[in-house]
Structure 1
């Protein structure tokens, strides 16, 4: 039975042409001109790029720059992919076989879990606690893994809540994985988007010997249009994923690799992360103000990281109805919590230009005000 990708289905059907789009999960994208200026690239050299097939596993210098972000990793531990989307698909097809199972934490962006389900693999969920800052119960993790568990999947920082795992939660997940010899697949695309610290979220890489890390240029760097991601893994698993990569996409594009390589030069990378954090921090302040316009309607556990918030609401409608009403009446798009299997919530991205953000929030509050008048 095919499992559709519920979040992306909602987006692809409704986001085209919407004026106030708060459904994305990254910071406001950069223009090509802005990126070229920030990196100091020679525009003439860019125009002279041969639009040929690039190095299939990723330019060597780019893989070296990626490896430098993960202590102890080398370029041989890195495979460059067509976005983190392909990296997830490669992992699903490499690490899991019929009869295996995977443990994941809910609410969750279901890219890997959906892929796994579509391969006939059982996914077992541990629910994060919405009343306790979305914390994970270590005992629940230990109780959920069993002899069939081949992968424990984490998104850290989390999508959609923006929560970063605590030291205790990390230890509990590692202990549970070690108990059965499972892999930890750690999606870290929001590392670098921290809201209340300048310290980047610690990678799972290096804390356990069976770890695969996924990341991309999309979220912390504001470059989703490059469609460029990577996975970091032990060398044998990189080579196994590489063989499947040759079927899936052959390679990311030449231009994407060239631009990403420049963006990952340390000076440029730090500037991109600083830009992301500025947008995230000011945007969340603006969002928080707007959520107080109608007292008692909205509440949110402040995200530790990421451009988005998972907002709880008290209104006489479900999340899908609310999202469609905002879209229909005010040209505002948010992701209903039902698409993450959590009701009475919606995901809202606020790392956007201030005037655009404020107008969309004003429109959202207009709809809410009208609903409250009829209650």
Structure 2
């Protein structure tokens, strides 16, 4: 099969290690292993438990403790509906690999995480793009979705909140989306790694709204632990059984140490989320102040989500600009051509506050060449 190169990952693989100020990423500033082990003031006990671990395969689908912690994140999910995966990328791949066949019709949000449209294409599906709109605060049009959907549409793929823009589909939007999908019996695959941390914003998981909803997530973004390669997929019991069959061909297990750390992180998620809410709020305020002063940048601000999409007023192709910016100032962004959106770049503002401040200052200094 043929598949396109993964634009964002290809870019980061080439340039990420050259950055002094990495403001391209989409995670919230990562925890250290010591930070994780210190959660709950159980470090010595946890180290003893880790040292005693037998390095076998462990639990194929994830430990029962892991499944119970994940199930508790949802309103109507039992542990038997949870499958552990290699990050959310593994979860998305599993769902698409198990359900999409040649000539199926798939609708994908666009731009979004590239897996959600290029994997279906590689499997022979007919993929229609459901475009996000800047004039609608980077949300897509539900009226346009009604024009795109067909009687035999197999799946609608979304990323909520959206990567790269940080736009959020709230409950009312999702409920109308579900009503459209129900008309034709389409699955909805929702990549939910970017949990909004804005107070009083109601954003339910798709699996809690729709029997044919499939939710994927991981520890990488909102929980600040991308180094533990743990994700999960949650669906109804029948669909989960389908996934089990295909999962056996894609992985055996995530590993006993990763599972152990994932359970500990999820048990103490409120401590992590409290830390991250404060960091996101602080850094977003810094970005808002910077945008107000930077005449060559505009931004539709994300909803306390760890990724944003700045618009650059520059007389230069954005990738060339980003390469020069990195080489001359050490600042890393992800350019527009990785999202097919000329004139924009992904700004990952939820890095450490010090890195953000220094990176934005260097970016502004670099932009003065056009004044």
Tell me the TM-score normalized by structure 1: 0.94
What pairs with 1:267-346 in structure 2 (closer than 5 Å)? Answer: 268-295=268-295, 297-346=296-345
The 2-side partners of 1:12 and 1:116 are apart by 24
Query: Does the Cα contact within 8 Å between 1:245 and 1:251 map onto a contact in 2?
Result: no
**d(CA) in 2 for partners of 1:14 and 1:221?**
25
Moved more, 173-182 or 196-205: 196-205
How many residue pairs get aligned? The number is 367
Report the equivalent of 2:141.
Answer: 137
Measured in 2, the distance between the counterparts of 1:75 and 1:50 equals 24
Distance (Å, rounded) in 2 between the aligned partners of 1:261 and 1:236: 25
The answer as to whether partners of 1:99 and 1:121 remain within 8 angstroms in 2 is: yes
Spell out, residue by residue over 1:72-105, the C-alpha distance to the aligned partner (whole angstroms, 9 max, x if none): 2101110011111111111111111111021111
RMSD: 1.5
Sort the Cα spacing of 1:333 and 1:241 in 2 relative to 1 into closer, same or farther, 3 A: same
Deviations 1:124-155, CA, capped at 9 Å, x for gaps: 11111102211221110011011331110111
Tell me, what secondary structure is at the counterpart of 1:201?
coil
* Unaligned residue ranges in structure 1 (runs of 5+): none
- Aligned partner of 1:264 in structure 2 is 266
Q: Give the corresponding residue for 2:66.
A: 62
Structure 2 counterpart of 1:76: 80
Gaps of 5+ in 2: none
**Range with greater deviation from structure 2 (59-68 or 310-319):** 310-319
Query: How far did 1:225 drift?
Result: 0.5
Is 1:186–1:212's contact at 8 Å kept on the other side of the alignment?
Answer: yes
State the 1:200 CA deviation: 6.3
Query: Which residue number corresponds to residue 110 of structure 2?
Result: 106
Instruction: Write the deviation string for residues 167-218 of structure 1: whole angstroms up to 9, x where unpaired.
Output: 4421331122111110011111112x42x31556321122111011000000
- 1:212 alignment partner in structure 2: 214
The match for 1:10 is 11
Is the alpha carbon distance of 1:27 and 1:200 closer, same or farther for their aligned partners in structure 2, counting shifts above 3 Å?
A: farther
Report the counterpart of residue 241 of structure 1 in structure 2.
243
Quick one: distance in 1 between partners of 2:192 and 2:332?
25
TM-score, with length taken from structure 2? 0.95
Answer yes or no: is 1:169 the counterpart of 2:170: no
SS of 2:252's partner is coil
2:33 is aligned to: 32
Q: Structure 1 runs of 4+ off > 4 angstroms?
A: none
Deviations 1:297-334 (A, max 9, x none): 11111101321211112111122122112112111111
Residues 7 and 338 in structure 2, CA contact (< 8 A), matched pair in contact too: yes
- Asked if the contact 1:4–1:114 (Cα under 8 Å) also holds between the matched residues in 2, the reply is no
Q: In structure 2, how many angstroms separate the alpha carbons of the residues matched to 1:178 and 1:214?
A: 20
SS state at 1:93 partner? helix
Q: How far apart, in 1, do the equivalents of 2:317 and 2:202 lie?
A: 36
